[in-house]
């Protein structure tokens, strides 16, 4: 089957067009607002140089807004980041896809590339503005999401403690149900996406544990059982020693969702479904709320130092996992490149080789899904494995709430049912998917 064309913003009825015209300007405007409010703090820390650097970054953002409002050509990067050459080469490649070597523009280039390019330009503005190049214009929002989700985090941590306390009395079916429970919590936490729902309630107000049964009807593809079977095959049987088993989680959002990923990872170890969990985050601020190493460390610190005993106990356990090497954090710039994942083995062979060591890779969120299948105009009934093309590092599962136009792996007539139920079902985050393939 021929690979379909990529989604792009030239279609004024598409979600890509809405993103370009509404969300992207709003995101850059918010970044300007954050820098304006922090200028004095940056000046207090770095003197006049810090104040001038903030002004310079704000100027870059104003220029960026003008560029996509006027649909100007995409320009090469000019900072000193290690990925600049790769990005500029990719920009040249986009030019070859256009008639008569036309200049790539915001509306005609693939939506996935344009969105990634926007956030790389956001990073460029900071990199060329020392001494404040470290400043994360999205950090404030990510931290707020974490703090405002405390009630839900408390309930989740208490449930994890109860699992550990009662583990010996659980039969295999009950263990499986617990895994399903934590997996679904991690799924629905993916709603908390600040790049989509910046002005809305993007935190988790209360515990979702009691609502999981009622939410199952909103999971449009549910491969929990075959995925669980893959991990259950690694479990300890009687007194036999568990074989070394590894789960990798390619992270999406910081804040509340990151905590649910921590809890899921802890549950996987507790249920003896794996012996180690590896996390993969972004190298710099990305798509507003994506988790970086700073966000990862901040979440651990906040849980360890929590005044709530249940949260603090979890944080202490997670800190020990990291120290022991049972949990491992990885950083690779591939996650912030524009490439679809089927290019990983060629572009980032070190990362591909690392993922091949895994027994199961969990890809969190809609952006990872879009890069897995290429963000293209697939027929919805296209098999998931076919859309992955040559990306085959290990058994993998995409866990996401639906927030874009690209969908694959649907059973016949599912699309018709969803269209009757909710016209905007693809983009509102109300529906979820757990799509697994073992190759």
- pLDDT higher than 70, residue 338: yes
How far apart (Å, rounded) are the C-alpha atoms in residues 260 and 62? 36
pLDDT at 237: 43
How far apart (Å, rounded) are the C-alpha atoms in residues 265 and 259? 10
- pLDDT higher than 70, residue 206: no
Predicted confidence band of residue 31 (pLDDT cuts 50, 70, 90): very high
Q: With both helix axes pointing from N to C terminus, report the angle between 150-166 and 172-189 in degrees, rounded to the nearest 10.
A: 170
How far apart (Å, rounded) are the C-alpha atoms in residues 430 and 371? 21
Predicted confidence band of residue 236 (pLDDT cuts 50, 70, 90): very low
Contact 217, 162 (CB under 8 A): no
- pLDDT higher than 60, residue 135: yes
pLDDT at 204: 58
Contact 111, 94 (CB under 8 A): no
Contact 262, 318 (CB under 8 A): yes
* 92 Cβ contact partners less than 8 Å away, ≥ 6 residues apart: none
| Helix, strand, coil percent content, the chain, rounded in steps of 5 | 55, 10, 35
Instruction: For 402-423, write each residue's pLDDT tens digit.
Output: 999 999 999 999 999 999 989 9
- pLDDT higher than 50, residue 308: yes
- Specify the DSSP class assigned to residue 22: I
Predicted confidence band of residue 193 (pLDDT cuts 50, 70, 90): low
pLDDT at 198: 46
pLDDT at 13: 81
Instruction: Look at the alpha carbons of 246, 294, 288, 429 in this order and tell me if their dihedral is positive or negative.
Output: positive
245 φ/ψ sector (left φ>0, alpha ψ -120 to 50, else beta): beta
- pLDDT higher than 50, residue 282: yes
Burial of 123 per CB tally in 10 Å (0-12, 13-18, 19+): buried
Domains of the chain (ranges; CATH) run 15-127 (1.20.930.60), 144-437 (3.40.50.10880)
Pick from 99-113, 173-187, 212-226, 377-391: least confident: 99-113
Radius of gyration from C-alpha coordinates of the chain: 22
- pLDDT higher than 80, residue 235: no
Pick from 116-130, 175-189, 202-216, 314-328: least confident: 202-216
First to last CA, the chain: 18
**Which H or E run contains 23?**
none
């Amino acid at each position: 089957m021929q690979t379909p064309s990529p989604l792009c913003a030239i279609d004024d009825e598409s979600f890509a067009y809405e993103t370009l015209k509404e969300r992207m300007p709003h995101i850059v405007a918010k970044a300007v607002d954050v820098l304006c409010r922090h200028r004095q703090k940056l000046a207090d820390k770095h003197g006049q140089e810090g104040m001038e650097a903030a002004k310079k970054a704000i100027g870059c953002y104003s220029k960026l807004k003008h560029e996509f409002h006027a649909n100007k050509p995409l320009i090469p990067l000019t900072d000193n980041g290690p990925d600049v050459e790769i990005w500029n080469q990719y920009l040249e490649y986009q030019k070859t896809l256009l008639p008569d070597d036309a200049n790539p523009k915001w509306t005609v280039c693939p939506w996935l590339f344009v969105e990634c390019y926007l956030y790389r330009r956001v990073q460029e503005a900071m990199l060329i503005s020392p001494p404040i190049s470290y400043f994360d214009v999205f950090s404030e929002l990510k931290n707020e999401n974490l703090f405002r989700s405390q009630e839900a985090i408390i309930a989740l941590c208490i449930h994890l403690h109860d699992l550990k306390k009662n583990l010996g009395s659980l039969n295999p079916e009950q263990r499986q149900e617990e895994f399903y429970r934590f997996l679904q919590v991690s799924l629905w936490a993916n709603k908390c996406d600040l790049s989509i729902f910046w002005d809305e309630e993007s935190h988790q107000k209360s515990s979702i544990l009691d609502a999981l049964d009622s939410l199952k009807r909103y999971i449009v593809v549910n491969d929990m059982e075959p995925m669980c079977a893959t991990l259950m095959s690694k479990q300890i049987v009687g007194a036999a020693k568990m074989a070394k088993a590894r789960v990798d989680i390619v992270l999406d959002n910081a804040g509340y969702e990151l905590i649910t990923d921590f809890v899921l990872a802890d549950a996987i170890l507790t249920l003896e479904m794996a012996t180690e969990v590896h996390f993969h985050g972004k190298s710099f601020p990305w798509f507003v709320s994506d988790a970086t190493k700073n966000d990862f460390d901040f979440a651990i610190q906040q849980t360890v130092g929590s005044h709530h005993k249940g949260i603090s106990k979890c944080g202490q356990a997670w800190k020990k996992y990291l120290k022991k090497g049972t949990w491992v954090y990885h950083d690779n710039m591939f996650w912030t490149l524009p490439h679809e994942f089927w290019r990983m083995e060629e572009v980032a062979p070190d990362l591909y080789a690392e993922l091949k060591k895994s027994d199961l890779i969990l890809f969190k969120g809609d952006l990872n899904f879009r890069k897995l299948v290429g963000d293209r105009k697939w027929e919805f009934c296209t098999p998931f494995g076919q859309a992955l093309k040559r990306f085959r590092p290990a058994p993998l599962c995409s866990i996401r709430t639906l927030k874009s136009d690209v969908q694959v792996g649907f059973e016949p007539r599912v699309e018709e049912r969803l269209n009757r139920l909710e016209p905007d079902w693809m983009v509102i985050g109300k529906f979820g998917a757990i799509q697994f393939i073992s190759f």
